[in-house]
Structure 1
Amino acid sequence: MDKMKVTYEAMLALAAEMILDEAVLKYRTDQIYRAIDNALAAGDEDTFYRLTKQLNEIHH
């Protein structure tokens, strides 16, 4: 029975880690999109290209 408990706890920890990773990715993606919008509004082409590159890197 203890082996099942350890396995269950390990799976639960993995699921929690996956949820946390997804939340961090969503938060970072939202930040980059907002910064891209700001760069577009300001006409800042260099920042726009840098941020779109970052966005592509985190999604690949």
Structure 2
Amino acid sequence: MDKIKVTYEVMLSLAAEMVWDEALRKQRYQQLYSEIDNALAKGDEVAFRLLTDELKILGK
């Protein structure tokens, strides 16, 4: 019985971590899009390229 409980707790912990990671990823996507928009508005090509590169990496 204890082994089942430990297994359940580990699986629950992993599921919670997956939800947390997805929430962080979505937040970073939103932040990147906002920063990319700002870079475009300012005409900052260097920032635009750095941010879009990070967005590409995040999408993998």
- The whole-number CA distance in structure 2 between the counterparts of 1:50 and 1:17 is 28
CA RMSD of aligned residues (A): 0.7
Runs of 4+ in 1 over 6 A off after TM superposition: none
Counterpart residue type for residue 43 of structure 2: G
Match of 1:19 in 2: 19
Q: Distance in 1 between matches of 2:45 and 2:23?
A: 29
Which residue does the alignment assign to 1:55?
Answer: 55
TM-score, length basis structure 1: 0.93
1:6-52, Cα deviation, whole Å (9 max, x unpaired): 01000000000000100111111111110000011111111111100
Counterpart-to-counterpart distance in 2, 1:49 and 1:6: 46
Q: Percent same amino acid among aligned pairs?
A: 58
TM-score scaled to structure 2, two decimals? 0.93
- Could you tell me which amino acid in structure 2 is paired with residue 32 of structure 1? L
